[in-house]
């Protein structure tokens, strides 16, 4: 329970990051919807690809792995706050700009959100009292 709680308690940037992308990076609604679509598709594919990985390892291992990978994959957005996209655009002639970094980051990071739900649901299925399983699932 503590492992699942610690994974769910990790703070995220939430809508603030989206507003920052709109205001500072000048992302429009169309580009943000493309990011959302890519995120949803890649998340479904990621759950299919990583199902064996999750089935063969303990919940603690999967949660630890997801925490480390999630931290690493949060670095590009943090880097763009400090101007990473301007530096990479100047080195690559404008190819690796903010939109390119956001596309790649979304494609890599999006499966983690959905995959992180699976250990929690497995813990509930195994550990919740039989008469409270529905309540546990509803709360999560």
Q: Considering its fold, how many domains does the chain have in total? A: 1
How many helices and strands, by DSSP H and E, does the chain display? 9, 0
Domain annotation covers residue 27: yes
- What is the rounded distance in angstroms from the CA atom of residue 110 to the CA atom of residue 112? 5
- What is the rounded distance in angstroms from the CA atom of residue 82 to the CA atom of residue 111? 25
Domain annotation covers residue 78: yes
CB 59 within 8 A of CB 4: yes
The pLDDT of residue 76 is 93
Confidence (pTM):
0.78
> What distances in angstroms separate CA 34 from CA 17, 54, 128, 131, one per listed residue?
16, 28, 38, 42
Domain annotation covers residue 3: no
The pLDDT of residue 93 is 95
Domain annotation covers residue 140: no
Domain annotation covers residue 80: yes
Domain annotation covers residue 32: yes
Q: Which residue stretches of the chain have pLDDT < 70?
A: 1, 4
Domain annotation covers residue 137: no
Q: Which domain holds residue 30?
A: 14-114
Give me the residue label for tokens 């759950």: 47
Domain annotation covers residue 108: yes
């Amino acid at each position: 329970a503590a492992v699942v709680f610690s994974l769910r308690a990790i703070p995220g940037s939430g809508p603030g990051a989206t507003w920052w992308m709109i205001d500072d990076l000048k992302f429009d609604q169309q580009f943000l919807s493309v990011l959302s679509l890519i995120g949803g598709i890649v998340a479904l594919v990621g759950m299919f690809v990583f199902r064996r990985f999750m089935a063969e390892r303990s919940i603690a291992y999967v949660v630890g792995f997801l925490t480390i990978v999630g931290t690493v994959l949060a670095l590009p957005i943090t880097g763009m706050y400090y101007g990473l996209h301007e530096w990479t655009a100047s080195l690559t002639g404008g190819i690796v700009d903010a939109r390119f970094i956001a596309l790649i980051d979304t494609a890599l990071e999006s499966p983690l959100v959905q995959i992180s739900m699976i250990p929690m649901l497995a813990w509930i299925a195994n550990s919740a009292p039989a008469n409270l399983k529905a309540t546990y699932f509803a709360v999560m």
